[in-house]
Structure 1
Amino acid sequence: MATPSAQMDGRDLPPRPEKPAKPARYISKFRPFVKHEAEKNKSRWKTMGPAKVAVPSPKDFLQKHSKEPKLPPRKKEQNSKKPPALSVPRRTDRPVMGIQSKKNFINTNAVAAIRGVPKKPQPFCVDTRQGDKYLLETSGLAPKYIKKKDYGVTPKYVARRNEERKRAKEEYEASILEDLKKKAMKKLSDEERTNVLQALKKNWQETQREYLGLSVVIDTMHKKMHKQRLELKLKELEQDIQALEMHEDVYIANE
């Protein structure tokens, strides 16, 4: 048997597993070309600022009206010809008499002030005791609309609408009259009245003959109904004959 010291020796332990080697990292063959293009098109100062900034001089401060546009020099100044100096009259000099200006502004203003109409104050409307006021013209309280030329005149669209309404009413009344004429009662002449009366009497005689020809014994429903129908017809014929005989003027409706 192996001693404890022999067991602790490393020669009897199992070997450590070897780690597999990592493959080489992939590097594109276009890497140098891409790097060169990126460095070529990149402006370094856009992200980090310029390397050195020129400090402005104290003498180059912003002066007043320095940025305003300047007019080009005049032609007279370019020709180095100065305008003649204005001669100011002295206090002891007297004006030349007999020369008048085109317009006497003093007299004109005096006449305008004398003949002018004084300016009227604008009328106000005060609605509170604190003195709150507003213009009377725009308040709606001044009757300025009655001074208009077309005040009280019916507008054209209202007159046109009234004419259309009147025309529509006339057309409606004309159509109603026409319908009433069509549905008006017609008066029977004496000859037509006589003919109608004779026809009714003849019909009554035929119905009376049929009624008298009924059997004495009426024992069925059909016979009873036939008898009632004849009686009703005779009664209506009698009423019509009596109405025609009582009235000489008879009117009938046009269908």
Structure 2
Amino acid sequence: MSNPFERHDIGHLSASSLNLWAAEPALWIMERLLGRRSPSGIPAARGKAVEAGVNIGLHDPALPVEACIAEAESAFDRETALNPDPRRDDERKKLPGYVRGALAELRQYGLPDADGYQGKVEIRLDDIAVPVIGFVDWRFSGHGLIVDLKTTERLPSVIGASHGRQGAVYATAHGNFGMRFAYAKPAPAKGDGRQVQVLEMSGDDVRAHLAALRLIALSLGRFLALSHDARELAGLIVPDFDSFYWSDPSVRAAGRDVFGF
């Protein structure tokens, strides 16, 4: 079998998967090859919940913000029902601020495409045997834009590499559409009052991040080609348990079980 991804039952890649391989290969192996999946963390649950609340508010401009906040809180409660993370209550209190700020910014774009929310996209990278897929937040065809919402505690001045790779997939799948990230804080900044920072990728950004994704995928393919045995591959990598990727106690425990220390 010449396809190293196929031999490990990997039918597709994603920007998030390739970002994880680049940042913490041991966790990628534990999750993707050995099936020891990590529970969804509180920041991820917060992001999904805010998206859910903002989405219904974008598709129904007359819907009161309070109803959108209620949707976000309900989604957060479902996602974190069994999560013992002590940050849960504090993050839940911030949901109204995130939803209000994001809606105030994104409702200016008008109605997103009816089929755009979490719409699946797929691209191909040269010399990579499997496709790279992703799921966009919103597509505004009237403006030729893809918009992805990120919740954060601090507004960035540039789009980071991991988000840039994600955006490169979305932009490539949509031809000449622009790719924007809307970074939302739970409250306006004390200095300038900003609560949302919108950053757009240039064509050069897209090409550079797409090239990086291809190189990361090639690296992963070469690694997978070393062995058919996932356990043998795990034995070639050492985890960094000081990394935030291992901050969840259950994830750290699974890692120690897999890697032996």
On whether the aligned pair clears a TM of 0.5, the verdict is no
Higher helix share: 2
Q: Which has the higher contact order (CA 8 A, sep 6+)?
A: 2
Aligning the two structures, in what range does the TM-score lie when normalised by the shorter sequence? under 0.3
* TM-score scaled by length of structure 2: 0.15
Flag the structure with higher strand content.
2
| TM-score normalised per structure 1 | 0.16
